[in-house]
Structure 1
């Protein structure tokens, strides 16, 4: 089953820096609308899609220790006052055919920890209609690489780690690098290399909110 998430939109909300190019293209498309009413509606729809007409994320400060290049943000759900914490990291190398870099996201939402990779490209489906998945090869530090079936987002542009990501995260905090590779639909493989140093400290607000520890 696909994860119910529009990955590109979630990335814009959680980490504006990662989505700069995507946002610019969306704004340009609205600006190209000929009629003023159509243009205004386009901007309104874009703001709603990016969740810019509701509560915004705030950068988390005061995290103890070195958090490396991780961007840490949080927001409050106005319905139940629950907190969502999002960590985001841009790949050192690895980008889609338009030059947009791959992003790694870890979050605690509704007391559930998730980890996913935003490839910013249509990935296609390596599974079946009822079980849409994508093969992703990963390597943590100098450990042996492995290929697994990751879940797909609703727009087929992001892959979710299979099962709970917590065991994987506990391995990742002991390393400074994480590599992921997949093959978008009808394209060559894309390999993303992440400098994950500082992850142990960056995970603190996620662990606190979701109630687990290393």
Structure 2
């Protein structure tokens, strides 16, 4: 279970790093100094990881469905985050329930065996 959680978290971190690298490369390709500076300023002005993620306007964040609730039985926290694949055939679900972290990957459709 820990290995699955580690792999899921690492994939999210590496994906975010790759997006940041792509944004820097786009800025580097701009020839005009003023426009290139505006591009870098835009990257620096984007929300950091320490800010509230619900305040971001990045369209890639809109794909995450996040629920932060409390259990009606004992008021313990229940946090769920899910991300559906771009083709809609699979999803990644991570949740914290009863002080345990759970990760699941689901795939819709027929899986051929044999």
Q: TM-score, normalised by structure 1?
A: 0.28
Q: Flag the structure with higher helix content.
A: 2
Q: Larger RCO: Structure 1 or Structure 2 (Cα < 8 Å, ≥ 6 residues apart)? A: 1
Q: TM-score, normalised by structure 2?
A: 0.45
Computing the radius of gyration from Cα coordinates, the structure with the larger value is 2
